[in-house]
Each structure stands twice: as structure tokens, then as C-alpha cells.
Amino acid sequence: MFSNTRTTRIEWGDCDPAGIIYYVRYFEIFDVSTTMLLERAMGMKKIQYLKAYNFLGHPVAETRAKFRRPTRFGDEVAIETQVVAVGRSSIKLEHRLTHNGALAVEGSETRVWAVRDPNDPARVRSEPIPAEIAERLRNAPVSAG
Amino acid sequence: MFSNTRTTRIEWGDCDPAGIIYYVRYFEIFDVSTTMLLERAMGMKKIQYLKAYNFLGHPVAETRAKFRRPTRFGDEVAIETQVVAVGRSSIKLEHRLTHNGALAVEGSETRVWAVRDPNDPARVRSEPIPAEIAERLRNAPVSAG
Amino acid sequence: MFSNTRTTRIEWGDCDPAGIIYYVRYFEIFDVSTTMLLERAMGMKKIQYLKAYNFLGHPVAETRAKFRRPTRFGDEVAIETQVVAVGRSSIKLEHRLTHNGALAVEGSETRVWAVRDPNDPARVRSEPIPAEIAERLRNAPVSAG
Amino acid sequence: MFSNTRTTRIEWGDCDPAGIIYYVRYFEIFDVSTTMLLERAMGMKKIQYLKAYNFLGHPVAETRAKFRRPTRFGDEVAIETQVVAVGRSSIKLEHRLTHNGALAVEGSETRVWAVRDPNDPARVRSEPIPAEIAERLRNAPVSAG
């Protein structure tokens, strides 16, 4: 299935008075990784694919994370994100965040393909993932090389 | 076991371009609720209990959340937090966030009682929760009335 | 002119490894105060007044802040917000954040009344503030007593 | 004087229900740029230079920003940061954030060299900037080429 790896840096403003990352920031890091993976799979930026497919976003239905080692400001970390299941209107992803090769955090999330309810624009509802998107998410990305 | 309920308001800056809360913000809301519960259980503010017990904090070892209905800026929400297990050096808590009585988010988290490693101040390690704290967390709070 | 005072609490997740508030959080605090003031002036929640007046928001054109004393997690702070000028399509506000009566931060901001450009929905432009809103912002709020 | 340029990307979680960046996020972006500039000037990561010089940080005494054009999620932006004054115990920096070459935000900030008050560890006070650091900040960085 589709996967993506990126690196980022833990910053001062991400850390708390214990001197380590405030754990909430990891979910922002994972959200960026998921966006990056989906942008690569769809071949468009998020701002473009929301328009192209007339959908509202891919809200998280459920997420969990295990924090195995703390990270600190200045740490360069790598985040590997992998699609692990593609359902009718949802996908499941897993994240592994490592620092110097050691696993620091494991995360997983289930996202739904969300559209505005045509009968009530204030409501959001799920819709089947378009077949060509589901197909691309089920396959490994084409190597850049 | 100990529990705490509080209310807060979802703000503009908590919401994303889909017009609903950016899900990451819920973890900040839950973290504040846990602090409030522990402050009530210990009878001190966090800044005081960290000093009184010479510990670094209560980092999250694992957390999960299910997002059932979105909330929007201006929504007044209630968060009920409940201790569900008190272990040797960890506690488990559950959160239920409701809007107008309807369940919007369920969260759970496991926290450890963390101290600085005396052999290596750059490391954090867990330690048994002091008996009187464990005792208070196992009992329902005394009613204010 | 219109003013508003509210209180809030500085939380663990707002603070940085120096143990004091990460200064960026003050701008979120000020933004919430401005929303609260405008909601009181308009007699509606923001989600309602955006719809009622068909505008996009009141983006900040310029802001500044002076940080006089640090605050720490657990500090209860008060924020006094005051409209100081009402222009054709902009307003200027000032904030004073105090802790135990001592001034911790002074902030000011200029906001514009922003609508979607009818010729290009991707663009935002300013528009005159409706006369009745400008009128209310120029006057002191009616006391709750 | 010393300067630094970096690029970053505006993310979904940085944007608000108007679909544009929530202005508060710019201050986080500027803070990261200042850290990067100081790390280059000192030749060490922040976590190392705080220890090497036994100081607490470089808190902001005053900051301001002018927001000229909004940015949106997916926008790649460049941030040019320049030291404009080096005082006895403070420095002033200016930031210019551009998108596709157009100026989006101008910011400035004054930072102080802060240490823990030896007479009262709960207090922070300023101290003269070490001469070699002041010297490096006053000079243009050595080109990588």
C-alpha cells in the first residue's frame, strides 16, 4: 500500500516545562504526514484535491498513539506513514516516528472521506472514496528513481 | 474513582478550513481536564505538586480518541473525566466530551508518574505513585456541597 | 468605547521549556478576547454574525505586544480589551493582561471587516463596517446590572 | 548583520474557517526562524547553547507584525530574518515572509538574553550578551559557498 516518509524538527515551542515535546504536537505532525501522503497519492495539493473532488476533508474518526521515548527541541525526527487499509469510505493509516533510528512514537488513525450533506450544509457526512483514489492508495507509490 | 467535569468553548482559532474543530485541539482540552482532576485530587496546583513531590510531570504513555460528531467555533462543550485505573506507577483516565448533551468525542489516556533519572538528568523514568495520591485517585471526590 | 474583561488560566501546554508561557499563546488569548467583545457588541455568537452580515471574518492587519512579566502554568490572568478607534472598515483594539493586578502584557491590534471579493472568491477584501455595528462599538457596553 | 532565510509550508491545521492562515501561527514561524538564525550564529543547537551559556532562553520583550496578504494551506513561503540591532542585553530582529515573491507578512521582535535570577530561581532577569556572540550577530554570516 501507499507509504510516505518525511523528516521534521522538534521546536522549542513544541516543548513543555518538562523540556520534552508536549505530546499533543505529535498529532499535528501526523496530520501533516497524512496530508503529504494523500497529496502524493492524488498528485495534487490538498487545496486542489478538495476542489477537484468537491469534498470537505478527511476528518479523523479515531486515532491512537503510543509514546515510547520523549523527544526534545532540536531533535530531527523521521515519520514513516503507511496506508494499512482502504475501505468503502474510510482509510486507515499508521505512523512511526523515530529519532536516531529509535522508535519514539507509534500512531494510527482512521479517516473518512467527508462531504457536505446536500440536504443540510451544516452537516458533514461520509461518501465512498472515488475508485481511482482507492486504487492508488492500495498500491505502493511509484519510486522517484 | 475520582472524576471531574468542566466546560469550555470551542474557539475560531481551534477550527480548520472545513469550519469544524481541528481534531488535535481535543487532546489539549483533555490534557487540561486531566490537570484539573489531578489538582483537585492532590489539593494543589500542578506547579505546586510538581515541586511538592519532586517529579517532572505525568507524561502520556498511550492515548486514543473517537470523534463521533464535529464541534464548531462558539460551541459550549462539557468534558467529564474519570480515573478508571490506578496502577503502581501509572493511571488510566477516560474523557467524554459532549455538546448539548450529545457525545462528540470519547478519549482515554494512560499517564505515568515521571521523575528525572538520578543517574542521568537528561532521562525521564517512572516511579511508584505515592500511596496517599493513589488512595485519593481511587476514591470519589468529596462533594463541594 | 466598548470594552470587555475576562479571565483565563495559563496551562501546562501553553508553557515552554523555560517554564513560562510561550509568548505566541498570548495572541490566541487576545484573539479570543476580541471575539468575545465583538459577540457582546453584536449580540450574537461569531458563527451567527458571520452569517448575518455575510462576511468572512475580521482578520488582523497589524498587531503588537509588549511582554512585561512572564506568566506560568496555573496562573489565573485577567484580560481587559478596549476598542480604541472605529474607522470606516477597520477597528483598533487594545488588550491589557494582568496577573495578581500586575501588568504582564500589553497588546494592540487593527482588524478589518473582510468579505469575499465578489469578482474573485479566492480573494478577501475589506468593506465598510455596517453603521449599526460601528455605532455600538463606539459606545460603552450597557452594564449587566 | 547576521541574516537567515528558510522556507516552510502553511498547513491545514494552521488555517482557520476563513480558509486562510490563523495569524497567530506566523509568530510560531518567526520564532523558529529566530532559533535557526541564533543556532547558526552560535554554531550550536539551542538545546546546546542554553547549556553552554547557562541561560534560560531569549524571551521576546516586544513584537509586532503587519499582515499584508493572506496565505493558505499548501502555500510554500520563504522567511528572511535579519538582525537589525545588537544591544547590551537585547537584540532586535526583522522577518519578511513572502509567497511567490510577494510580501505577505512583516514582523519585528526584540529579544533579551535571560538568565535565572541567582537570588530567586523563580524569577528571570536579563544579562549582557557574551561579547563573542554579540560580535557574531553584528557580522554577516560566512557564506556556505
Per-residue pLDDT tens digits for C51-98? 999 889 999 999 999 999 999 999 999 999 999 999 999 999 999 999
Residues of B in contact with A59 (CB under 8 A): 18, 20, 23, 67, 70
By the 8 A CB rule, do C99 and C24 touch?
Answer: no
Q: Of A5-14, A134-143, B34-43, D136-145, which range is least confident? A: D136-145
| pLDDT tens digit sequence for D78-108 | 999 999 999 999 999 999 999 999 999 999 9
- Mean pLDDT over D28-48 rounds to 97
Residue D100: CB atoms within 10 A of its CB come to 11
Which stretches of chain A sit within 8 Å of chain D by CB? 11-13, 28, 31-32, 35, 45-48, 57, 72-74
Residue A40: CB atoms within 10 A of its CB come to 16
- CB contact under 8 Å between B46 and C74, yes or no, is yes
pLDDT above 70 covers a percentage of chain C that reads: 97
Q: pLDDT value at position D145? A: 46
Q: Hey, which chains touch D, using 3+ CB pairs under 8 Å?
A: A, B, C
What is the distance between the alpha carbons of residues A79 and B101, in angstroms, rounded to a whole number?
A: 38
Q: Which three cell numbers stand for residue C45?
A: 455568537
Q: Provide the mean pLDDT of chain C.
A: 94
Residues of D in contact with A48 (CB under 8 A): 74
Q: Provide the mean pLDDT of chain D.
A: 94
β-bridge pairing B90-99 and B120-126? unpaired
- CB contact under 8 Å between B17 and D22, yes or no, is no
Complex prediction ipTM: 0.94
pLDDT at D53 over 80: yes
- CB contact under 8 Å between C15 and A12, yes or no, is no
- CB contact under 8 Å between B124 and A18, yes or no, is yes
Q: pLDDT value at position C145? A: 45
Q: Residue C24: which of D16, D31, D61 has the nearest Cβ?
A: D31
Confidence of residue C141 (pLDDT cuts 50, 70, 90): confident
Q: Residue B74: which of C47, C73, C74 has the nearest Cβ?
A: C47
pLDDT at A145 over 50: no
Chain centre distance of CA C23: 16
Distances (CA, A) of C2 to C11, C94, C107: 29, 11, 16
- CB contact under 8 Å between D23 and C59, yes or no, is yes
Confidence of residue A123 (pLDDT cuts 50, 70, 90): confident
Burial (CB < 10 A; 0-12, 13-18, 19+), residue B140, is: exposed
Q: pLDDT value at position D28? A: 98
- CB contact under 8 Å between C63 and D18, yes or no, is no
Q: pLDDT value at position D143? A: 61
pLDDT at C104 over 50: yes
Q: Residue A31: which of B24, B56, B66 has the nearest Cβ?
A: B24
| pLDDT tens digit sequence for A60-98 | 999 999 999 999 999 999 999 999 999 999 999 999 999
- CB contact under 8 Å between A32 and D45, yes or no, is no
Query: What is chain A written as a DSSP string?
Result: --EEEEEEE--GGGB-TTSBB-THHHHHHHHHHHHHHHHHHHTS-HHHHHHHTT--B--EEEEEEEE-S--BTT-EEEEEEEEEEE-SSEEEEEEEEEETTEEEEEEEEEEE-EEEETTEEEEEEE-PPPHHHHHHHHSPPPP--
Which of D14, D16, D22, D26 to mutate against chain B (most B CBs within 10 Å)?
D16
- CB contact under 8 Å between D62 and C61, yes or no, is no
- CB contact under 8 Å between C61 and D67, yes or no, is yes
Confidence of residue C143 (pLDDT cuts 50, 70, 90): low
Q: pLDDT value at position A142? A: 67
Distances (CA, A) of C137 to C31, C57, C115: 17, 16, 19
- CB contact under 8 Å between C46 and B72, yes or no, is no
pLDDT at A143 over 80: no
pLDDT at C144 over 70: no
Q: Residue C24: which of D27, D66, D67 has the nearest Cβ?
A: D27
The minimum CA-CA distance between D67 and chain C, rounded to whole Å, is 5
Average pLDDT across each block of 10 residues of chain B; the chain has 145 residues. List them in order: 96 96 98 97 95 93 97 98 97 98 98 89 87 93 61
pLDDT at C48 over 60: yes
Residues of B in contact with D12 (CB under 8 A): 16-17, 22
The minimum CA-CA distance between B46 and chain C, rounded to whole Å, is 7
What is the distance between the alpha carbons of residues A20 and D50, in angstroms, rounded to a whole number?
A: 15
